[in-house]
């Protein structure tokens, strides 16, 4: 199907005919007035869709590469031309009006179709081009993307990669991302997911100085007598350290003066002797090799779900995202 057909579907959804056309709109007292709109108005509708998705002028502007003031000016002009308020705006929130919600529903599928058509043109290029936006947890950025992206950018210089790092459990689509990367057990059920790594072992580590002063635990329950670097999860709850040995599974609510959600910070504190840390084994490999950290409770170390990439199934997979997934599976920085 050609881009012209996709554009025509958008025009039809808007009530637009060839060139400029008429938009039927309910007026006061049940009257109907007709308003002519041109194809140049489509940019304003694209801006409106971004605002409807993000419910934020700042975030929508970041996605589109325009200022929040430019979006505000565009929306005011659109609302003035069609004579209908589309968004309710306060200092704290942006919400759709009933008219805005109806227009959003009518425009989403046609604009998605145009995006898919443009993305499909990549197969005619000598080199793929475009932009992919990823929302990934911090450990995935260093362990998975860190080894892969230099190769990816060298191989596909026409593809820009925009990475947002967040350990919070967010709706990646609402955040403007094409896909997210999280541990397998945390992927939303309504998303399509692909595994990017093998399962990963989680280990307890401590500095030699700390272990010499406080002793080395031989059973997970002995951790209650130690200073531990507690893990804050994406929903702001504290993680209970999990262990497994010979079919026995234990989850310990460890004590500790420090709670955090960032691996490099945990590594630096553990290496300084602040307390014991519970981390993915690949994250601690370098400091273990240097002798700055030692493994604790090695026989109790459990396997956790590996990294998965996830994205909405209703959309065509962007070429750049498909190529990135293929390269991760080719290089296998964490096995597969």
Q: What is the pLDDT of residues 275-330, one digit of tens each?
A: 999 999 999 999 999 999 999 999 999 999 999 999 887 667 888 999 999 999 99
Q: How confident is the model at residue 42 (pLDDT cuts 50, 70, 90)?
A: confident
pLDDT at 329: 96
Averaged pLDDT of the chain: 84
pLDDT at 28: 40
Q: How confident is the model at residue 3 (pLDDT cuts 50, 70, 90)?
A: very low
Report whether pLDDT(32) > 60.
no
pLDDT at 171: 76
Report whether pLDDT(8) > 60.
no
Q: How confident is the model at residue 199 (pLDDT cuts 50, 70, 90)?
A: very high
pLDDT at 31: 43
Q: How confident is the model at residue 37 (pLDDT cuts 50, 70, 90)?
A: low
pLDDT at 123: 66
Q: Tell me the two tokens of residue 333.
A: 């920085």
How large is the average pLDDT for residues 31-36? 47
Q: 278: how many CB neighbours lie within 10 A of its CB?
A: 25
Burial label for 264, CB within 10 Å (0-12, 13-18, 19+), is exposed
Q: How confident is the model at residue 40 (pLDDT cuts 50, 70, 90)?
A: low
Question: For residue range 111-168, what is the model confidence (pLDDT) as tens digits?
Answer: 777 776 766 666 666 688 889 999 999 999 999 999 999 999 999 999 999 999 998 8
Rounded percentage of the chain residues whose pLDDT exceeds 70: 84
What is the three-class DSSP state of 193?
A: strand
DSSP line for 216-258 = --SSGGGGGGS-BEEEBPTTSPBPPEEEEETTEEEEE----SE
Out of 14-28, 169-183, 270-284, 302-316, least confident range: 14-28
Report whether pLDDT(241) > 50.
yes
Q: How far apart are CA 259 and CA 50, in angstroms?
A: 36
Backbone Cα Rg of the chain: 26
């Amino acid at each position: 199907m050609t881009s012209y057909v996709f554009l025509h579907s958008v025009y039809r959804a808007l009530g637009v005919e060839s060139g400029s056309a008429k938009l039927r709109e309910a007026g006061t007292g049940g009257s109907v007035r007709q308003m002519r709109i041109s194809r140049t108005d489509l940019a304003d509708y694209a801006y409106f869709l971004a605002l409807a998705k993000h419910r934020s002028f700042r975030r929508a502007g970041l996605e589109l590469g325009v200022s929040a003031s430019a979006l505000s000016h565009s929306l005011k002009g659109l609302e003035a031309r069609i004579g209908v308020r589309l968004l309710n705006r306060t200092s704290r929130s942006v919400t759709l009006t009933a008219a805005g919600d109806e227009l959003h529903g009518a425009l989403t599928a046609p604009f998605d179709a145009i995006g898919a058509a443009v993305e499909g043109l990549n197969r005619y290029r000598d080199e793929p081009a475009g932009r992919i936006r990823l929302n990934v947890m911090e450990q995935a950025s260093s362990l998975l993307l860190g080894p892969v992206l230099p190769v990816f950018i060298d191989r596909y210089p026409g593809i820009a990669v925009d990475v947002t790092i967040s350990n919070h459990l967010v709706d990646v689509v609402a955040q403007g991302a094409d896909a997210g990367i999280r541990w397998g057990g945390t992927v939303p059920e309504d998303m399509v997911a692909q595994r990017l790594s093998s399962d990963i072992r989680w280990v307890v580590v401590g500095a030699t100085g700390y272990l010499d002063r406080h002793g080395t635990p031989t059973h997970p329950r002995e951790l209650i007598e130690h200073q531990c670097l507690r893990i804050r999860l994406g929903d702001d709850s504290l993680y209970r350290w999990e262990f497994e040995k010979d079919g026995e599974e234990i989850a310990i609510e460890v004590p500790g003066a420090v709670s955090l959600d960032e691996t490099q910070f945990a590594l630096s504190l553990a290496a300084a002797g602040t307390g014991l840390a519970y981390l993915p084994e690949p994250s601690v490999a370098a400091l273990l090799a240097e002798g700055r950290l030692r493994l604790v409770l090695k026989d109790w170390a459990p396997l956790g779900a590996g990294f998965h990439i996830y994205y909405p199934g209703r959309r065509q997979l962007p070429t750049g995202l498909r190529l990135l997934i293929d390269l991760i599976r080719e290089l296998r920085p964490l096995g597969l």
